[in-house]
Chains A and B, each alone.
Chain A
């Protein structure tokens, strides 16, 4: 893809990201449950992956050579559902059952949903799953790539570091871990709750090639995620993001981790999303 094509593609991706953010906002308001701030934070990462980076097709999800995506921060499932729907994995109408009695669309990812690889929700599992999946590719001489999205609050889970050690030891250059690095967790700033920094240096020390990007900048995300790994090294994309991105009054507010908007907030948020979509179309 040349620069001009990439540029126009980036514009489309940004619009898609704004649209899935809006749909997620609507879904959470409708269901009166969801991890709003966490969803909005990583929307650009998921859109970059599903609409530009992942070699994965909705009608060939059983292809053994598909790229794999594991969402370790499973609580941001509402954005995942909306991205999967927008990408054609699942019918949008299914999403109306989210959090309803007997629905498969529950508050954390399950492999009952077409397009979801593994069940997650308990934090600190995704990177280890990714290590197993990437190691299998090495054993089988397959060339698919495995992506894992973690939260930064999640970095307090010890199992993350067991998995990081294994990824480095196994020299998994077919594995990319991404941290949605918004600096906030449910109880407040991560540095106050349980400081996990410096993540850059820690992952480097575990044998990763670490790159820090603006995790709400589509062009930076696509460029970083599309590039091949350094030979013999797993990659960590430290994606600096804004929790609650896209709704001015929710941005950078730990309280919006899983807050549901009031009617008034809901309308205000919708207006902001519509204005952003309009602005992007006219850009």
Chain B
């Protein structure tokens, strides 16, 4: 695996291609073109970039108005603001009014690290997942971001996409394999039936590494990539539950209302599958680099392997 590309850079490339072919495709930014990696878009397609200033709420509402008039806006803001400050605009103007707005939450999760909790979005899956008529995606690598974008530029449905800040570790070889469509998860690793690790976004690579580590310890894990957080792939989740009956969810999000909750909602009625949650606790995150913070909360290869080993012995 290599660290190849930031999701933001991939999104910009795909958006330039789509917007060049279709003048209705717009990038809407809230003084975030730099942090959203949209500078090349701004240079190449200045008339298709709508700058809203530091006004995330109005950015979403105006995007809804643009979409209502046939435009196809991709609206970029830090996930922390887009998914909290603007959530009512998302609820009313995008999901309830059913406007084709793609909400791109940049620098999501803990990726702003030492900028502090005002800039973290560790509750965004809880808010966005609960809104009817909103798809929620977390791409794991370059190829998956490409595949997702090629779907999104054609889709007429509202969606929230959460991406991080750093270059992503490659998990997939091609866009087609990486993203199979809404409601489709990927079985990335299938070593056996001892445990299933379920992840999305940046935690997919961590889960893959953890599965490798576990194999060396004689534990055979599956890894499921839930890129489509909503709609969620119930078929895949039930299939791996049939095989392993024990899940560990790994998320860059509060363990309240996030990926683990989404998975638990699917398997709870079965009554035969245990779910353990790895993620952020119900508390403000500590300061540190993203790697330091992940390690502190046990969201890293060794800690996950240790935890799984302990859980299986218990």
List B residues 64-120 near A (Cβ within 8 Å): 64-71, 88-89, 92-93, 96-98
Assess whether B69 is in contact with A140, with CB atoms less than 8 Å apart. yes
Cβ of A133: which chain B residues have Cβ within 8 Å of it? 65-66, 68-69
Q: A136-B69, A139-B47, A162-B57 are in contact. Are A129 and B52 (CB under 8 A)?
A: no
- Interface flags for B14-32 (1: CB within 8 Å of A; 0: not) read 0000000001001000000
- Interface flags for A107-122 (1: CB within 8 Å of B; 0: not) read 0000100000111111
Q: A159-B58, A165-B53, A166-B55 are in contact. Are A132 and B96 (CB under 8 A)?
A: no
Assess whether A166 is in contact with B71, with CB atoms less than 8 Å apart. no
Cβ of A163: which chain B residues have Cβ within 8 Å of it? 58, 61-62
Assess whether A118 is in contact with B64, with CB atoms less than 8 Å apart. yes
B197 within 8 A of A: no
A148 to B62, CA, bound (A): 13
A21 within 8 A of B: no
- Interface flags for A154-198 (1: CB within 8 Å of B; 0: not) read 000011001101100100000000000000000000000000000
Nearest Cβ in chain B — how far from A3, in angstroms?
A: 36
Main SS of the interface on chain B? helix
Contact of B70 among A120, A121, A122, A136 (CB under 8 A): A136
Which residue of chain B has its CB nearest to the CB of A169? B53
Assess whether B57 is in contact with A118, with CB atoms less than 8 Å apart. no
Cβ of B223: which chain A residues have Cβ within 8 Å of it? none
Assess whether A129 is in contact with B93, with CB atoms less than 8 Å apart. yes
B135 within 8 A of A: no
Assess whether B52 is in contact with A121, with CB atoms less than 8 Å apart. no
Assess whether B70 is in contact with A128, with CB atoms less than 8 Å apart. no
A90 within 8 A of B: no
B206 within 8 A of A: no
Nearest Cβ in chain B — how far from A112, in angstroms?
A: 10
A73 within 8 A of B: no
Q: A129-B64, A132-B61 are in contact. Are A137 and B53 (CB under 8 A)?
A: no
Nearest Cβ in chain A — how far from B61, in angstroms?
A: 3
Cβ of B144: which chain A residues have Cβ within 8 Å of it? none
A117 to B96, CA, bound (A): 12
Q: A133-B65, A136-B70, A140-B70 are in contact. Are A118 and B97 (CB under 8 A)?
A: yes
A111 to B97, CA, bound (A): 7
Cβ of B63: which chain A residues have Cβ within 8 Å of it? 132
Which residue of chain B has its CB nearest to the CB of A164? B58
A135 within 8 A of B: yes
- Give 19 A-B pairs besides A129-B68, A163-B61, A163-B62 with Cβ atoms closer than 8 angstroms: A111-B97, A117-B68, A119-B96, A128-B57, A128-B64, A129-B61, A129-B62, A130-B65, A132-B61, A132-B66, A132-B68, A135-B65, A135-B66, A136-B65, A136-B66, A136-B69, A140-B70, A158-B57, A166-B62
Q: When A and B form their complex, which 7 residue pairs have the shortest distance between CB atoms, in order from nearest?
A: A132-B65, A128-B61, A136-B69, A162-B58, A132-B62, A162-B55, A129-B65
Q: Which residues of B contact A (CB under 8 A)?
A: 23, 26, 47, 50, 52-53, 55, 57-58, 61-71, 88-89, 92-93, 96-98
